[in-house]
Amino acid sequence: MAGMFRNLVVPFVAVLLTLAGHAAAAATTDWHMTSGSLTFSGTQQGEPFTGTFKAFTVKLKFDPAHPEQSQLDVQIDLRSADSQLEERDAALQSAEWFDTERQPFAQLSATGGKRLTDGRFELPATLIIHAKQKAIAFPFTWTVNGETAKLDSVVHLNRLDFDLGTGDWADPDWVGHDVQVTVSVTFAAMPPEANVKPSPTTE
């Protein structure tokens, strides 16, 4: 009887341990942004220009072995836009463009994802700017270097999808419709204990 019990229990325990191992392997990592840049490029009267957003935050849960479990949240302070031209920067803050008095932030969020055939990854994201929401693809490369990792992405947007540049500004001869957004962020993995909330205490 003891031998039969052992023959049943041992395989059962082994299965449980295997499942636990798979669950641990599938756990995504919380990544903490340590540095980064967020730039936008376009044309004005046929001349190219590049600007930056100086204030933005990125929260990321990601495991390259399980991109389907990814979570990404990016918040951009539109008031921090700097295109290296004071007159243009003032226009970007106006109601015809970002309307930062009423909508000071843009947000990109994504859940899930996949690995592309060229080794990159892609997340199905939602971008909200100027109170306009649009589903976009967010492709990126992921490079690990020791205890840090770097995300690099290039996304092309049509500014009219977000009502950016209305009225006379809508003319592509004045400001091009295509905007290239380039993201480069370096992360450090957060230790597991950093994600554990303290248990409530009672007096």
> What are the residues whose beta carbons fall under 8 Å from the beta carbon of 168, sequence distance 6 or more?
174
Q: Which amino acid is at 102?
A: R
What is the reported pLDDT for 191?
Answer: 72
CATH 2.40.128.110 for domain 27-191: yes
How far is it between the farthest Cα atoms of the chain?
88
Is 98 buried (19+), middle (13-18) or exposed (0-12) by CB count in 10 A? buried
User: Region 92-113: what's the mean pLDDT?
Assistant: 97
With a cut of 50, say whether residue 197 has pLDDT above it. no
Domain ranges of the chain: 27-191
Q: What percent of the chain has pLDDT over 70?
A: 81
Cα-trace Rg, the chain: 23
Q: Which residue has the higher pLDDT, 10 or 68?
A: 68
**DSSP letter for each residue of 64-97:** TT-GGG-EEEEEEEGGGEE-S-HHHHHHHTSTTT
pTM of the model: 0.81
